[in-house]
Amino acid sequence: MNISGCLFDMDGVIVDTAKHHYVAWKSLADELSIPFTEVENESLKGLSRLDSLECILRLGNLEVSSNTKIELMEKKNQLYLQIIGSMGPDDILPGVKELMLELRNEGVGICLGSSSKNASSILKSIGIFDLFDGIVDGNNLTLSKPDPEVFIKGSKILGLTPSSCIVFEDAESGIEAALSGGFFALGIGKEGSLKRAHANVQDLAHLTFEKLQALVDSHESN
């Protein structure tokens, strides 16, 4: 496989917004008297805002109306937006921008594949929005990861087949989405944390196009 396209998840891959999501969800859970820790927060990785809320409500055995869910999601989002309002270029995780610039020089298509509804505003705040050829986020999705919809849409925007694209993911649900969609799944995180991925790297620092192609070639030769 020659790499033609790269699809990036945002949270935990491009920026670390998971900690900000946790603060916002924790505040909402406390208000509802639902025990919520960083352990439970890990299970929300890759999920949509609605799916995340429903997971939290299940933790408290709470059932609420659809209108109340909308109100709760809006409350959480307003707090989250306040927290991330000060984000800038320094919040980009190591190696991300450098790799994207090299990918563009190599003629590789770049697309975002995130469940976040705030993805575009965050990418603009940190100064890399223009490096993307396409954006797929929570505003134009009907299904959450592990459904592959987000990446399938991304590959179509790039005009590429899944088999010619790499997905960069830090969550199990995202890796499963990539695998079920027929993409090469690159896990980002601690060694052994995403065992189903085709290949793993701790982060994108020092990752080059050449090293990326070597990871693909190594997997295919095994």
Residue among 101, 72, 107, 86 nearest 17 (CA): 86
Are 25 and 42 in contact by the 8 Å Cβ rule? The answer is no
Q: 9, 16, 147, 203: which one is catalytic? A: 9
- Asked if 11 is an active-site residue, the reply is yes
Give the active site residue among 11, 16, 30, 90: 11
CA dist 49 and 70 (Å) reads 10
**Which are the catalytic amino acids?**
9, 11
